Amino acid sequence: MDELLAAVQPYVDRFGGVGMAVIALLDTSFVSMPSVNDLLIVWQTIKFPQLWWYYALMTTIGSVAGSMVIYYLGRKGGEAFLLKRFKAEHVVSVRGAFERYGLWVMVAIAFAPPPAPYKIFVLLAGLGGVGPAAFALAVTAGRGLRYLLEGWFAMAYGQEAARLIRDHMAEATLWLLVVTGAASIVWLLWRRRGPA
Protein backbone atom coordinates (compact mmCIF):
# COMPACT_ATOMS: atom_id res chain seq x y z
CA MET A 1 0.00 0.00 0.00
CA ASP A 2 2.73 2.47 0.98
CA GLU A 3 4.67 1.70 -2.22
CA LEU A 4 1.59 2.28 -4.37
CA LEU A 5 0.79 5.51 -2.58
CA ALA A 6 4.40 6.68 -3.01
CA ALA A 7 4.20 5.84 -6.73
CA VAL A 8 1.07 7.92 -7.40
CA GLN A 9 1.82 10.82 -5.04
CA PRO A 10 4.17 12.69 -7.45
CA TYR A 11 1.48 12.49 -10.12
CA VAL A 12 -1.09 13.96 -7.73
CA ASP A 13 1.38 16.64 -6.59
CA ARG A 14 1.75 17.69 -10.22
CA PHE A 15 -1.87 17.47 -11.40
CA GLY A 16 -3.82 17.93 -8.16
CA GLY A 17 -7.54 17.17 -8.31
CA VAL A 18 -7.42 16.18 -11.98
CA GLY A 19 -4.76 13.59 -11.16
CA MET A 20 -6.92 12.29 -8.34
CA ALA A 21 -9.86 11.95 -10.73
CA VAL A 22 -7.72 9.94 -13.17
CA ILE A 23 -6.44 7.64 -10.41
CA ALA A 24 -10.02 7.10 -9.18
CA LEU A 25 -11.14 6.31 -12.74
CA LEU A 26 -8.36 3.73 -13.13
CA ASP A 27 -9.07 2.22 -9.72
CA THR A 28 -12.77 1.67 -10.34
CA SER A 29 -12.32 0.46 -13.90
CA PHE A 30 -9.30 -1.72 -14.73
CA VAL A 31 -6.51 -1.21 -12.17
CA SER A 32 -7.38 -2.03 -8.56
CA MET A 33 -5.68 0.28 -6.05
CA PRO A 34 -7.51 -0.43 -2.76
CA SER A 35 -7.75 2.54 -0.37
CA VAL A 36 -5.40 4.74 -2.43
CA ASN A 37 -8.16 7.25 -3.24
CA ASP A 38 -9.13 7.53 0.42
CA LEU A 39 -5.56 8.12 1.53
CA LEU A 40 -4.90 10.62 -1.26
CA ILE A 41 -7.89 12.68 -0.17
CA VAL A 42 -6.57 12.74 3.37
CA TRP A 43 -2.96 13.57 2.42
CA GLN A 44 -3.93 16.30 -0.04
CA THR A 45 -6.40 17.81 2.43
CA ILE A 46 -3.75 17.89 5.15
CA LYS A 47 -1.51 19.86 2.77
CA PHE A 48 -4.29 22.13 1.44
CA PRO A 49 -7.17 22.07 3.97
CA GLN A 50 -9.28 24.66 2.15
CA LEU A 51 -9.55 22.31 -0.88
CA TRP A 52 -10.99 19.31 0.99
CA TRP A 53 -14.31 19.50 -0.88
CA TYR A 54 -12.53 19.84 -4.27
CA TYR A 55 -10.44 16.71 -3.72
CA ALA A 56 -13.54 14.79 -2.64
CA LEU A 57 -15.48 16.06 -5.67
CA MET A 58 -12.76 15.23 -8.21
CA THR A 59 -12.24 11.75 -6.74
CA THR A 60 -16.00 11.15 -6.87
CA ILE A 61 -16.14 12.24 -10.53
CA GLY A 62 -13.29 9.89 -11.44
CA SER A 63 -14.83 7.04 -9.48
CA VAL A 64 -18.22 7.46 -11.17
CA ALA A 65 -16.57 7.61 -14.61
CA GLY A 66 -14.56 4.43 -13.97
CA SER A 67 -17.65 2.69 -12.61
CA MET A 68 -19.56 3.56 -15.79
CA VAL A 69 -16.88 1.76 -17.84
CA ILE A 70 -17.41 -1.46 -15.84
CA TYR A 71 -21.18 -0.94 -15.85
CA TYR A 72 -21.25 -0.81 -19.67
CA LEU A 73 -19.04 -3.91 -19.84
CA GLY A 74 -21.71 -5.66 -17.75
CA ARG A 75 -24.43 -4.46 -20.14
CA LYS A 76 -22.55 -5.60 -23.22
CA GLY A 77 -20.85 -8.74 -21.91
CA GLY A 78 -23.76 -10.48 -20.28
CA GLU A 79 -23.87 -13.44 -17.91
CA ALA A 80 -20.97 -15.33 -19.50
CA PHE A 81 -18.65 -12.35 -18.97
CA LEU A 82 -19.66 -12.14 -15.32
CA LEU A 83 -19.35 -15.87 -14.60
CA LYS A 84 -15.86 -15.93 -16.11
CA ARG A 85 -14.68 -13.44 -13.50
CA PHE A 86 -16.67 -14.36 -10.38
CA LYS A 87 -17.91 -17.53 -8.66
CA ALA A 88 -21.50 -18.46 -9.47
CA GLU A 89 -22.58 -18.35 -5.79
CA HIS A 90 -21.27 -14.76 -5.46
CA VAL A 91 -23.21 -13.74 -8.55
CA VAL A 92 -26.38 -15.31 -7.14
CA SER A 93 -26.01 -13.62 -3.74
CA VAL A 94 -25.32 -10.19 -5.27
CA ARG A 95 -28.28 -10.59 -7.64
CA GLY A 96 -30.46 -11.44 -4.63
CA ALA A 97 -29.31 -8.27 -2.85
CA PHE A 98 -30.27 -6.18 -5.89
CA GLU A 99 -33.67 -7.85 -6.13
CA ARG A 100 -34.37 -7.29 -2.46
CA TYR A 101 -32.99 -3.80 -1.86
CA GLY A 102 -32.73 -2.24 -5.33
CA LEU A 103 -30.32 0.64 -5.81
CA TRP A 104 -29.86 1.07 -2.04
CA VAL A 105 -27.43 -1.82 -2.23
CA MET A 106 -25.41 0.08 -4.86
CA VAL A 107 -25.29 3.19 -2.66
CA ALA A 108 -24.10 1.09 0.29
CA ILE A 109 -21.44 -0.82 -1.66
CA ALA A 110 -20.17 2.41 -3.25
CA PHE A 111 -19.83 3.85 0.24
CA ALA A 112 -18.04 0.81 1.67
CA PRO A 113 -14.22 0.69 1.63
CA PRO A 114 -12.12 -2.24 0.39
CA PRO A 115 -12.33 -5.20 0.60
CA ALA A 116 -16.02 -4.72 -0.37
CA PRO A 117 -16.59 -6.56 -3.68
CA TYR A 118 -17.49 -3.39 -5.56
CA LYS A 119 -16.92 -4.44 -9.18
CA ILE A 120 -19.24 -7.46 -9.10
CA PHE A 121 -22.07 -5.14 -8.01
CA VAL A 122 -21.24 -2.71 -10.81
CA LEU A 123 -21.20 -5.49 -13.42
CA LEU A 124 -24.50 -6.90 -12.15
CA ALA A 125 -26.09 -3.46 -12.21
CA GLY A 126 -25.23 -3.28 -15.90
CA LEU A 127 -26.32 -6.84 -16.58
CA GLY A 128 -29.52 -6.46 -14.59
CA GLY A 129 -30.78 -3.54 -16.61
CA VAL A 130 -30.36 -0.80 -14.02
CA GLY A 131 -30.63 2.46 -15.96
CA PRO A 132 -27.37 4.39 -16.44
CA ALA A 133 -28.70 7.59 -14.83
CA ALA A 134 -29.97 5.75 -11.73
CA PHE A 135 -26.73 3.79 -11.49
CA ALA A 136 -24.59 6.94 -11.77
CA LEU A 137 -26.73 8.67 -9.14
CA ALA A 138 -26.36 5.73 -6.71
CA VAL A 139 -22.56 5.62 -7.16
CA THR A 140 -22.33 9.40 -6.83
CA ALA A 141 -24.31 9.27 -3.57
CA GLY A 142 -22.24 6.46 -2.07
CA ARG A 143 -18.79 7.54 -3.19
CA GLY A 144 -19.54 11.24 -2.77
CA LEU A 145 -20.64 10.78 0.84
CA ARG A 146 -17.62 8.63 1.66
CA TYR A 147 -15.08 10.99 0.10
CA LEU A 148 -16.71 14.15 1.49
CA LEU A 149 -16.70 12.67 5.01
CA GLU A 150 -13.03 11.71 4.66
CA GLY A 151 -12.11 15.16 3.31
CA TRP A 152 -14.01 16.96 6.04
CA PHE A 153 -12.48 14.70 8.69
CA ALA A 154 -8.97 15.38 7.36
CA MET A 155 -9.65 19.12 7.23
CA ALA A 156 -10.96 19.13 10.80
CA TYR A 157 -8.39 16.81 12.41
CA GLY A 158 -5.25 16.99 10.24
CA GLN A 159 -2.53 14.40 10.83
CA GLU A 160 -4.61 12.62 13.45
CA ALA A 161 -7.24 11.97 10.78
CA ALA A 162 -4.65 10.28 8.57
CA ARG A 163 -3.68 7.90 11.36
CA LEU A 164 -7.27 7.16 12.35
CA ILE A 165 -8.42 6.55 8.77
CA ARG A 166 -5.47 4.32 8.03
CA ASP A 167 -5.89 2.26 11.22
CA HIS A 168 -9.69 2.22 11.59
CA MET A 169 -11.30 2.86 8.20
CA ALA A 170 -13.05 -0.51 8.07
CA GLU A 171 -14.59 -0.13 11.55
CA ALA A 172 -15.70 3.45 10.94
CA THR A 173 -17.28 2.52 7.63
CA LEU A 174 -19.03 -0.46 9.20
CA TRP A 175 -20.70 1.83 11.74
CA LEU A 176 -21.68 4.31 9.04
CA LEU A 177 -23.12 1.45 6.96
CA VAL A 178 -25.12 0.22 9.95
CA VAL A 179 -26.57 3.71 10.45
CA THR A 180 -27.26 4.07 6.70
CA GLY A 181 -28.85 0.61 6.59
CA ALA A 182 -31.05 1.33 9.58
CA ALA A 183 -32.16 4.62 8.03
CA SER A 184 -32.92 2.84 4.75
CA ILE A 185 -35.04 0.19 6.50
CA VAL A 186 -37.00 2.86 8.38
CA TRP A 187 -37.57 4.74 5.09
CA LEU A 188 -38.72 1.55 3.29
CA LEU A 189 -41.11 0.66 6.12
CA TRP A 190 -42.49 4.20 6.18
CA ARG A 191 -42.98 4.12 2.40
CA ARG A 192 -44.87 0.81 2.55
CA ARG A 193 -47.30 2.27 5.09
CA GLY A 194 -48.47 4.84 2.55
CA PRO A 195 -51.50 4.34 0.26
CA ALA A 196 -51.24 1.49 -2.22
CA within 13 Å, CB half, 78: 1
Count the neighbouring beta carbons within 10 Å of the beta carbon of residue 85. 13
pLDDT band at 71 (very low <50, low <70, confident <90, very high): very high
Selected residue with higher pLDDT from 70 and 175: 70
Rounded Cα distance between 45 and 39, Å, is 10
Task: Please tell me the pTM assigned to this model.
Answer: 0.78
* Residues 147/59, Cβ–Cβ less than 8 Å: yes
- Check residue 101 and give its pLDDT: 75
Give the chain's largest Cα–Cα span.
57
- Check residue 32 and give its pLDDT: 84
Residue 61 C-alpha from the chain's centroid: 11
Domain limits at 72? 2-193
Sign of CA dihedral 46, 52, 116, 24: negative
The tally of domains found in the chain comes to 1
Convert the pLDDT of each residue in 6-44 to its tens digit: 778 888 888 999 999 999 999 999 888 878 898 899 889
Region of poorest pLDDT, from 31-45, 114-128, 157-171, 178-192: 178-192
Selected residue with higher pLDDT from 133 and 90: 133
Convert the pLDDT of each residue in 91-110 to its tens digit: 777 777 777 777 888 888 89
Rounded Cα distance between 74 and 56, Å, is 27
* Residues 89/38, Cβ–Cβ less than 8 Å: no
Convert the pLDDT of each residue in 145-158 to its tens digit: 999 998 998 898 88
